[in-house]
Amino acid sequence: MSEVEELIVKLQQNAQLSSRGRAIERDCFITDKSGKERKIQSWKFNEWDYGKNNITLPCNARGLFISADGIGQPRIMARGYDKFFNIDEVAKTHWDWIKDNTQGPYEVSVKANGCIIFISGLEDGTLAVCSKHSIGHRDDVDRNHAEAGEKSLLDQLAKIGMDPTTLALDLFSQNITAVAEYCDDSFEEHILEYVGERSGLYLHGVNMNTSAFHTWPLSKVNELANRYNFKKVECLTFDSIEELQNLFNECSKTGVYHGVEIEGFVIRSHLQQDDKASFFFKYKLEEPYLMYRQWREVTKDYINTKSRVFKFKKHKFITNKYLDFVIPLLDNDATLCENYLKGFGIIKLRNLFLKSYGMTGFEILNSEKINELENKNAIDYEKVDENTKFLIFPISVIGCGKTTTAITLKNLYPESWAHVQNDDVHGKDKSQLMKRSLGQLSKAGVKCVFVDRNNHQFKERQQLFQWLNDLKEDFLPYNQNIKVIGVSFAPYDKMDKIKTVTVKRVLERGDNHQTIKLQKYGEQKIVGIMSGFWRRYQPVVKDKSPDNLFDLLIELPYNEVNSSLINTKIILENLHREYPILVPEIPDENAIKSSFDLSLEHKIPIKPGSSTPNTKEKKNKPAKKDPLLKPKKLKPVYFSANVSVDLVKSAIDTLIMQNLGKIAEEGNQYLTSLFAEDKFQKAFHVTLSHRAQSSSNSGDERGKRNWERYTKHYEPIIKMSESTNNSQENTALPIRTGDIVSMRLSKLIWDDKIVTIIVDLLENTDNSIAVRSAEREVINGLNCTNLIPHITIGILQDGVKAYYSNELCNKIASGGNTSGCFELNFVDSKVFDAEVYINL
């Protein structure tokens, strides 16, 4: 078995893993010179799996493409660098470790600020240009980095009259991958500016296409760059660590190298052991890069929420000045906002501010006057004193003991700590969790609130920070300093153990929970709910938003026995060390143990008016009124065009069978789970008009008019049903109208939450949809209120509402990225009829 075949076997084995070290494969396709479609497998791992001592990956390449078209032996077609880290990001990038374990020469190159591109070739001279994990055309993205990189490559070769086949055959014969950074603001803006002659492909590496990492020295890389008209990265060589540190210290003072703002440096060295293997690490300059990135993020936040951010980690004064300048521009230019969110105009807007302020970024950072104003006028959010308050956000999955830990802490500090549980929040306003937490925090004497929710995904943690930003001043003074502490209860490398232990705990807990009750759901349903959390779990990533927003992050180990007691002690030790104003001294063992024992006795209170789980009698229940005394008034909830379930299921099944190779592994998993786990909706329909859209609070005048037309047109049928169908049991059944709507299936779209089909509704001459009577006569004036008519096919994620389909459809329409989107061309644009129903 060859080296590559052994690698493929290991990758396929890791693809079967459920969490740590899981390999993810995506089938890609390119066309060779003979017109034959060639299959390429792209392999990747979760970002948080790299660099972990207790996780062994088959290959540490970040970007790995293997030919899998059956032509000859399988081979690595393109390979990225092994994942490398910033100084102090992991144990092996601490300066002491680097000094003790690496050797020079240290080759240092300027880090380009764009998107990575891998360039390789096939045996027939076909160029293969890849982005980090993709090659060839894609229907599921609005911006294809691989295609853009290929266009730029062909342009640069044409300028020197070079045949692309020459480059492809050169790369193929040497079995190498050219690694470049595509920097071009006309395609995609990042933080640093690349326009005109500065834009293009910067060649910064050449890797051997082998499982183990082998890369060329920069001198040979530059020879290849010269031959094929690539832009070169600036580079220099040092013999000692001390020389490296001197360079970095000098550049950190200015944020520039040779007069140009840069993101940082990449350093290539060799290990003293392991056959002198290549060892990469990087050094990122904090400024002005971080200041510019902060301006970009607060601009995006404002565009999305129309809510101004006031709390910043750094650069408080100048960032507020920046917002003072840009907010009026954003409020008066919708196109500017739209382009900004797509990644265009970021640098132009920043430069407009700098020009109006009369200073460069470097001058701002080094201005004594601005530094003085920062200290004088900005609220010091870093200050911690007796007025500081604290919020604790857990990161967990069901059954990890976060609530027991929270109650233990509350028992230790009954007067100054509070505990708010998400499971006690009911109704549509989910922000009640933060409102209740801030309400508790605003009370005299309360110093800390444990905001009890799993927060197992990035978006949930982001949501908490957004709510805090939006709601804080409704409860607390504007200058009140709040420290947010993250506590991770579920270490990613212990997930297999966590699954076993938490299932046992939750089943033993029985009905002592607000929502997950054993008697109601049974073991199978409960384990299914828990597995959804495991599948969606996104562990802490310290340098990624929102996890980089925590003022303190406590990562707990996982213990099967007394984990909550142990976790309580660890939390107290961390808080005492970092915030002694909150925990002046650690309580003694007896006090902690007593509080823990008391927490184990905690019972979920029974809601007033409800019976206990074991009570089956119905107490003093009033007698039912006779439904025949007065006809019950029927109130429509929505009007729909109901579609054949068999027709739609057959269409999806055909799509999957005909396009298996083109659907990404993850997307394929979502679709096949529809059938395997029967996650289909019980019935399929297109919503034509909904009562919620008619509300005066919705602000949807079109929806309101449409609802009035439907209710007026179908009023006779509704009244007839009132007079002829008074049975209490039957009044909730949909009412058939006999009218029909003609449509065709257009696109199947999906992500990890929901699967939906976009439909095309046939229109009348007045642009209303083609609602016809049973006699095929056109009924004018009725329309579909949803701008994108669709059928919700199946809900993949617990808690997601069918209404989310609207959001997904709008994302597709605006060119946004989602897990999958396929045209339903195989239906041959067949038009079919769907009957209109009145749903009560």
Give the position of tokens 């061309």. Answer: 825
pLDDT of 181 over the 50 cut: yes
Residues 351 and 402 in one domain: no
Residues 691 and 780 in one domain: yes
Boundary (domain end) residue, out of 571, 600, 629:
600
Question: What is the mean pLDDT of the segment spanning 780-787?
Answer: 81
Question: What is the mean pLDDT of the segment spanning 544-569?
Answer: 87
pLDDT of 621 over the 60 cut: no
Per-residue confidence at 731, pLDDT binned at 50, 70, 90?
Answer: very low
Which secondary structure element, helix H or strand E, spans residue 739, and what is its range? strand 735-750
Residues 533 and 670 in one domain: no
Over residues 579-616, the pLDDT tens digits come to 999 999 999 999 999 999 898 876 555 444 444 444 33
What's the CA gap between 838 and 717, in Å, rounded? 9
Tell me how far CA of residue 309 lies from CA of 313, 344, 379, 531, 744, in angstroms.
Answer: 11, 21, 13, 36, 46
User: Assign residue 619 a region: left if phi > 0, alpha if psi is -120 to 50, beta otherwise?
Assistant: beta
Tell me how far CA of residue 658 lies from CA of 662, 821, 822, in angstroms.
Answer: 9, 14, 11
pLDDT of 485 over the 90 cut: yes
Residue 740 structural domain: 638-839
Which secondary structure element, helix H or strand E, spans residue 201, and what is its range? strand 200-208
Question: What is the mean pLDDT of the segment spanning 633-662?
Answer: 78
Type of residue found at 435? K
Number of Cβ atoms within 10 Å of the Cβ of 680: 18
Over residues 691-728, the pLDDT tens digits come to 887 765 656 777 888 888 888 888 878 877 776 554 44
Q: Contact, 835 vs 737, CB < 8 A?
A: yes
Residue 682, φ and ψ in degrees, nearest 5: -65, -30
User: Does residue 490 fall inside a structural domain?
Assistant: yes
User: Does residue 372 fall inside a structural domain?
Assistant: yes
Residues 152 and 256 in one domain: yes
What's the CA gap between 677 and 795, in Å, rounded? 11
User: Does residue 97 fall inside a structural domain?
Assistant: yes
What's the CA gap between 146 and 155, in Å, rounded? 14
Burial readout 336-364 (b: 16 or more C-beta within 10 A, e: otherwise): bbebbbbebbbbebbeebbeeeebebeeb
Tell me how far CA of residue 24 lies from CA of 47, 64, 133, 250, in angstroms.
Answer: 12, 11, 10, 42
Per-residue confidence at 765, pLDDT binned at 50, 70, 90?
Answer: low
Highest mean pLDDT among 5-14, 539-548, 583-592: 583-592
For the stretch 406-410, contacts whose Cβ atoms lie closer than 8 Å and that sit 24 or more positions apart, written own/partner, are 406/450, 406/452, 407/598, 407/599, 407/602, 408/564, 408/565, 408/568, 408/592, 408/595, 408/596, 408/598, 408/599, 409/450, 409/568, 409/571, 409/572, 409/595, 410/450
Count: domains in the chain? 4
Question: What is the mean pLDDT of the segment spanning 437-462?
Answer: 92
Residues 413 and 295 in one domain: no
Residues 405 and 535 in one domain: yes
Boundary (domain end) residue, out of 377, 407, 441:
377
User: Does residue 613 fall inside a structural domain?
Assistant: no
By annotation, the residues acting in catalysis are 111
Residues 168 and 184 in one domain: yes
Radius of gyration of the chain (CA): 31
Residues 467 and 445 in one domain: yes
User: Does residue 153 fall inside a structural domain?
Assistant: yes
Computed over every residue of the chain, the mean pLDDT equals: 82
Query: In this predicted structure, which of 134-138, 185-189, 216-220 has the lowest mean pLDDT?
Result: 134-138
pLDDT of 655 over the 80 cut: no
Identify the pLDDT of residue 208.
95
Query: Among residues of the chain, what percentage have pLDDT more than 90?
Result: 33
Closest CA to 45 of 68, 26, 28: 26
Type of residue found at 802? A
Identify the pLDDT of residue 541.
87
Q: Any residues with CB less than 8 A from the CB of 566 and at least 6 apart, and which?
A: 557, 559
What's the CA gap between 528 and 534, in Å, rounded? 10
Which tokens is 790 given? 């669709």
Identify the pLDDT of residue 496.
76
Higher pLDDT, 124 or 544: 124
pLDDT of 819 over the 80 cut: no
CA dihedral 580, 581, 585, 590 (to 10 degrees): -120
Closest CA to 732 of 648, 627, 621: 627
Question: What is the mean pLDDT of the segment spanning 670-676?
Answer: 70
The strand pair at 278-284 and 264-271 is best described as antiparallel
Higher pLDDT, 231 or 341: 231
Per-residue confidence at 752, pLDDT binned at 50, 70, 90?
Answer: confident
User: Does residue 633 fall inside a structural domain?
Assistant: no
Over residues 376-424, the pLDDT tens digits come to 555 566 778 898 999 999 998 888 888 999 999 999 999 999 999 988 8
Question: What is the mean pLDDT of the segment spanning 760-780?
Answer: 70
Identify the pLDDT of residue 757.
92
Per-residue confidence at 828, pLDDT binned at 50, 70, 90?
Answer: very low
What's the CA gap between 360 and 260, in Å, rounded? 12
Per-residue confidence at 125, pLDDT binned at 50, 70, 90?
Answer: very high
pLDDT of 667 over the 60 cut: no
Question: What is the mean pLDDT of the segment spanning 774-778?
Answer: 69
Higher pLDDT, 53 or 102: 102
Question: What is the mean pLDDT of the segment spanning 46-69?
Answer: 84
User: Does residue 658 fall inside a structural domain?
Assistant: yes
CATH number (domain holding residue 271): 3.30.470.30
Query: In this predicted structure, which of 12-16, 98-102, 203-207 has the lowest mean pLDDT?
Result: 12-16
Identify the pLDDT of residue 493.
75
Q: Strand pairing partners for 279?
A: 269
Residues 198 and 152 in one domain: yes
Q: Contact, 222 vs 232, CB < 8 A?
A: yes
Identify the pLDDT of residue 782.
81
Residues 562 and 590 in one domain: yes
Which secondary structure element, helix H or strand E, spans residue 655, and what is its range? helix 645-659
Residues 802 and 816 in one domain: yes
Question: What is the mean pLDDT of the segment spanning 165-194?
Answer: 92
pTM of the model: 0.51
3-state helix, strand, coil in the chain (%, to 5): 40, 20, 40
Query: Given CA atoms 336, 341, 347, 349 in this order, what sign does their dihedral have?
Result: positive
DSSP string, 792-824: EEEE-STT--TTHHHHHHHHHHTT---SEEEE-
Boundary (domain end) residue, out of 345, 377, 409:
377
Burial readout 366-377 (b: 16 or more C-beta within 10 A, e: otherwise): eeeebeeebeee
CA dihedral 667, 670, 676, 678 (to 10 degrees): -140
Residues 411 and 364 in one domain: no
Q: Any residues with CB less than 8 A from the CB of 114 and at least 6 apart, and which?
A: 181, 182, 183, 184, 188, 190, 194, 202
CATH number (domain holding residue 661): 3.90.1740
CATH number (domain holding residue 524): 3.40.50.300
User: Does residue 709 fall inside a structural domain?
Assistant: yes
Task: Let me know the angle formed at the C-alpha of 723 by 717 and 726, rounded to the nearest 5 degrees.
Answer: 115
Identify the pLDDT of residue 614.
43
Higher pLDDT, 312 or 584: 584
Per-residue confidence at 666, pLDDT binned at 50, 70, 90?
Answer: low
What's the CA gap between 766 and 773, in Å, rounded? 17
